[in-house]
A and B are shown apart, each in its own frame.
Chain A
């Protein structure tokens, strides 16, 4: 089964103006978003840098009071069970490892970037639970491939970030798409395409590009529902599978949840047999509660 081309490839000419109009509004709304901390952006960008200067990053985190405080709070949490108190960023990295600290700090900072207080009808807790579960699943899947497991974790955490932009900046449009989804009992992304002529995958990719996140993260977000032939062997296929597996695990226990059909080429590229799948199921479930606790979800 060929991997389909990206969405909107064959939209009739009359509807293209609606697509461009809404997408143009989305791009303009990005400028109204609070800027991410430069060190947070640098942290996420460093996932792609095999020669990352850990000492330099640690020094920069130390100079950011909010990020520094968050890092030390995480390091000293009961989750890590350290015998003595960690007092500096360098100490946290030495004890816990740079990869672990980077993933958790970047995750916590991104989660806190979205203010949920004004949007009481959207369940932010369930949203982040699904994102964290997908991150854990992606990390486990990456261990069976040659992909970076911590980068897979970040891609999994961010894969639905476009939904948050829709909820916070276009709440009426998001509500309309959700109403259609509930009425038609279809997937959320199909409802978004039907109502908005765009979807959270495309919007999330635009947001990741605006934040200057690595291209691999942008592509993982863009392709997590419909990976293309260019995504075989890359993060988009991994996140596509992770997302589906998490829905099948029913880890968030959302009453109207559903598993979407899986792209066969993407699935086959991961070579998932019974043993590996079982390992992935367990790794995802066993890490879920601890990860939610440490990220305050």
Chain B
């Protein structure tokens, strides 16, 4: 299974990368929200605040490769949940798993 994000040391981050998840401080306050396009000033500020790692979108796959992978993940999820019927927690779990893997619950 893959996720369309990767966790990297902040020193490996560069301007133009897009945050996959919120960056929070020690008190869980949001410093930068998900989907923020990082700038050098932002990275400097985050280093100053002690941030050591970031989760950013992984652009290693082409659009076509990503579409194929999404179809594979959806198909695999359907197979894994084949015994669940309309079990409410399973429906929620499946939705959350698709969101986690693909960034979308569709």
Contacts and interface: CB of A to CB of B under 8 A. Distances in A.
A258 B97 CA distance: 14
B100 A264 contact: no
B89 interface: yes
Contacts of B99: 274, 278
Interface string B64-106: 0000000000001001111111011110011011011000000
A253 B94 CA distance: 17
Contact of A248 (B81, B82, B87): B81
Contacts of B1: 249-251, 253
B84 A259 contact: yes
Contact of B97 (A185, A249, A261): A249
A185 B94 CA distance: 20
Nearest to A277: B96
Contact count band on A: 20 to 34
B87 A278 contact: no
A108 to B, nearest CB: 27
A261 B90 contact: yes
Contacts of A262: 84, 87, 89-90, 93
Contacts of A211: none
Interface residues of B, number: 20
A264 B89 contact: yes
A259 B99 CA distance: 17
A248 B97 contact: yes
Contacts of B83: 186-187, 258-261
The main secondary structure of chain B at its interface with chain A is helix
A260 B90 CA distance: 8
A187 B100 CA distance: 25
B97 to A, nearest CB: 5
A261 B89 CA distance: 8
A278 B96 contact: yes
Given A248-B80, A250-B1, A261 B93 contact: no
Nearest to A278: B100
A281 interface: yes
A165 to B, nearest CB: 25
Interface of B: 1, 7, 76, 79-85, 87-90, 93-94, 96-97, 99-100
Interface of A: 185-187, 244-245, 247-251, 253, 257-264, 267-268, 274, 277-278, 281, 286
17 contacts: A185-B82, A248-B93, A249-B1, A249-B97, A259-B93, A260-B83, A261-B87, A262-B84, A262-B89, A274-B96, A274-B99, A277-B100, A278-B99, A278-B100, A281-B97, A281-B100, A286-B7
